[in-house]
């Protein structure tokens, strides 16, 4: 199975800050990577797919990059509604493993 | 509006069974690949099971293979997860999700399964 490792596990930031979360795969996954946002008590929400494609309706302050084994999610200017937990997921091969999550706190 | 609604969760004793339901509206489950994903209390997301459009390709996580069965009912436009031989570590919120172009773009709100004596 492909292991996905996110860092950091948690990060504290302020409104207006720029934040970057990284995700490393244990083997080459090409660009088959998604980023999800999850708020407490809610289902995950797809933000980024194919490592860098922004899902329709997702604010432009979110961006993704990377290929192979190293990926990142950047939020350019944090808004109050962005404080949540973020997960990466590889879809290169089953099982489609998730990272352990990064909690973004105020 | 495209919507998935899970139900069937509850409290069950270790070794027991439950059947989860995922009712779809605004989409036909037969037109899409579908997944179950779970989240244990305070933990991260874990992919559980996958079905392709016609149910001809079905996959499971190692942790549930041989105990869980995914299926679709096109007449009811629903996805199911039959869970047998339940264990305490199956306790989680279970989400169904549509898979579109490799990614899960529509999710239900989840149903809670608690395995405890």
Q: What is the pLDDT of residues B83-99, one digit of tens each?
A: 999 999 999 999 999 99
Interface list for A 15-74 with B (CB within 8 A)? 32, 34, 36, 38, 42-46, 49-50, 55
- Give CA–CA dist B106/A102, Å, rounded: 21
Q: What is the mean pLDDT of chain B?
A: 97
- 3-state DSSP percent of chain B in helix, strand and coil, to 5: 5, 55, 40
| Separation in Å, CA of B47 to nearest CA in chain A | 6
Average of per-residue pLDDT values in chain A: 97
Nearest chain B CA: its distance from A33 CA (Å):
9
Q: How far apart are CA B117 and CA B106, in angstroms?
A: 34
Structure tokens at A50: 């194919």
Whether the pLDDT of residue A106 is over 90: the answer is no
- The 10s digit of each residue's pLDDT in B44-73 is 999 999 999 999 999 999 999 999 999 999
Nearest to B110 among A43, A98, A101 (CB): A43
Predicted pLDDT of residue A86? 98
Average pLDDT over residues B27-55: 97
């Amino acid at each position: 199975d492909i292991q996905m490792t996110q860092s950091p596990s948690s990060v504290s930031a302020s409104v207006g800050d720029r934040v970057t979360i990284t995700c490393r795969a244990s083997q080459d996954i090409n660009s088959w990577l998604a980023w999800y946002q999850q708020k407490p008590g809610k289902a995950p929400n797809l933000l980024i797919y194919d490592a860098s494609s922004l899902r329709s309706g997702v604010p432009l302050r979110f961006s993704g990059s990377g290929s192979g084994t190293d990926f990142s999610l950047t939020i350019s200017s944090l808004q109050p509604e962005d404080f949540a937990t973020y997960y990466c997921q590889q879809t290169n091969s089953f099982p489609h493993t998730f990272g352990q999550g990064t909690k973004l706190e105020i | 509006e495209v919507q998935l609604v899970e139900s069937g969760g509850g409290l069950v004793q270790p070794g027991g069974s439950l059947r989860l339901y995922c009712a779809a509206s605004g989409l036909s489950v037969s037109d899409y690949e579908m997944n179950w994903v779970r989240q244990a209390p305070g933990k991260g997301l874990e992919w559980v099971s996958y079905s392709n459009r016609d149910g001809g390709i079905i996959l499971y996580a190692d942790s549930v293979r041989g105990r869980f069965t995914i299926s679709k009912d096109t007449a009811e436009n629903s996805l199911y997860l039959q869970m047998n031989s339940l264990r305490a570590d199956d306790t989680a919120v279970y989400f169904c999700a549509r898979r579109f172009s490799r990614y899960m773009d529509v999710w239900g709100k989840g149903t809670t399964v608690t395995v405890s004596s």
